[in-house]
Chains A and B, each alone.
Chain A
Amino acid sequence: MMDCRQIKQLLPLFVGQDLPDSATTSDVSKHLEHCLECEQRRVGLQKSLEILQASSAVTLSVDVNRQSVLPKLMTRISEWDSAKYRDRFNGWIPASVMALAVALMVAVSIPSIQDEFFGAQSNPAAMDLTDFQFSLDSTLKVDQPGNATQGQKKSALVPAVYKPAQF
């Protein structure tokens, strides 16, 4: 059995038929039958609720002659769709162009790089040392003591020419 305090908490929902179950509704109804104070509160709540609902009578009516928002809305939706599409392309098209340009530059420069760094090595004729002429400076006497160092010093200044047969 609920007391007046509990009933008064439920009355705002009771007047709008918003109580969650019929048993509670029935309990409140029974209480109101013999409690004048709670019944007065119910009447007051009911009246203010009716006033509130009556106040919306005018505002609830939407102008029947108004134009639909649909045409303007569809224009905006189309604009938004194209902007989204454009943004998507704005992102990856410049990136693709840049990537393509870099790839092109690399492709063009690869043969010249090959020529520059690997061209001589890749040519067997250029690497063939068999015909390379070596010769010794005739003024140097490498077999005499003390001339080895001197000879080395000299050889730093004068390019020595050796013949492969001497090795």
Chain B
Amino acid sequence: MQNTMTLPDSEISGVDDVTTATHESRLVEEARRGSQAAFGELVTRYERRLIRVILQFVKSQELAEDLAQESFLKAYQRLAQFDTSRRFGPWLFRIGVNQTLDYLRRRKRRGWWLLFSERGTEKDPDPAVADPRQQLDLEQEVAAVLEQIPENYRVVLMLRELQNFSTSDIAAILERKEATVRWRLAEARSMFHDLWVKRRDGVGGEDSPIPIEEPAESVGQKRRKGN
């Protein structure tokens, strides 16, 4: 799988990575000095990619756009805190993912969390798929299984499998060690496989998330992070 973080969208593919990074650093610097035009260019570069990532969690184009807009605004407001020695992309996606997860948690607390059950009603089927109903069924089935996976693991799995981020990019987005991300990814894939087999065989069907213990290293790291 290729690393898509450095090329935020297909529109800029073919551009030399170093040139792109330098140009991006310059844009970030200008935006930090208050240039709205420079920030606008950054928005244009990352907009589609960010919406796509958020869309994976909320399944509604309109909502994904709203959350993307909120994320960009938050990024602009926090530009002074951005470490310019790091890449802008992972930092922006971290804000976007956290914003989305916060939104979903708030919705869940309000008691009407319909994270995955919305997809059939809010999105038209893709005509490119042979049987759109079949595709929607598959998506709903997969979504129901994903919902049973604890959030820490589900996020890693979704970013890796559905958004094609590399483990190092996910580590940068989630501010975790790459080893921790790999461990979570392995656990999440195992959980998904076991739950999928259970569901397919009609054995399971329980809706409660799987209780799981983090390894000592990850738990320690998590505490140190204060999260």
* Contact surface of A with B, Cβ cutoff 8 Å: 9-10, 12-13, 15-18, 20, 44-45, 48-49, 51-63, 66, 68-70, 72-74, 76-78, 80-81
Contacts and interface: CB of A to CB of B under 8 A. Distances in A.
Contacts of A53: 161-162
Contacts of B143: 55
Contacts of B160: 16, 18
A58 B36 contact: no
A73 B73 contact: yes
Interface in B6-46: 34, 36, 39-40, 43-44
Secondary structure of the B contact surface, majority rule: helix
Contacts of B91: none
B61 A13 contact: no
A98 to B, nearest CB: 30
Chain B contact residues (Cβ within 8 angstroms of A): what range? 35 or more
Contact of B43 (A54, A61, A69): A69
A54 B36 CA distance: 39
A17 B138 CA distance: 24
Nearest to B189: A12
A45 B142 contact: no
Interface of B: 1, 34, 36, 39-40, 43-44, 47-48, 51-52, 55-56, 59, 61, 65, 68-69, 72-73, 76-77, 119, 123, 125-126, 129, 135-136, 138-139, 141-143, 157, 160-162, 167, 179, 182, 185-190, 192-193, 196-197
Given A48-B196, A60-B55, 20 more contacts: A9-B186, A10-B186, A13-B189, A16-B161, A45-B190, A48-B197, A51-B196, A53-B161, A56-B161, A58-B129, A58-B135, A58-B139, A59-B123, A60-B56, A60-B162, A68-B44, A69-B69, A70-B43, A73-B43, A73-B72
Nearest to A72: B69
A15 B185 CA distance: 11
Residue picked from B52, B142, B189, most chain A C-beta under 10 Å: B189
Nearest to B44: A70
B73 A80 contact: yes
A43 B136 CA distance: 25
Contacts of B40: 70, 74
Contacts of A9: 186
B11 to A, nearest CB: 12
A11 B62 CA distance: 38
Nearest to B157: A52
Contact of B185 (A13, A68, A74): A13
A66 B129 contact: no
Nearest to A78: B36
A113 B136 CA distance: 88
A73 to B, nearest CB: 5
B186 A55 contact: no
A35 B69 CA distance: 51
Contacts of B59: 59
Contact of A45 (B55, B77, B185, B189): B189
B182 A20 contact: yes
A59 B68 contact: no
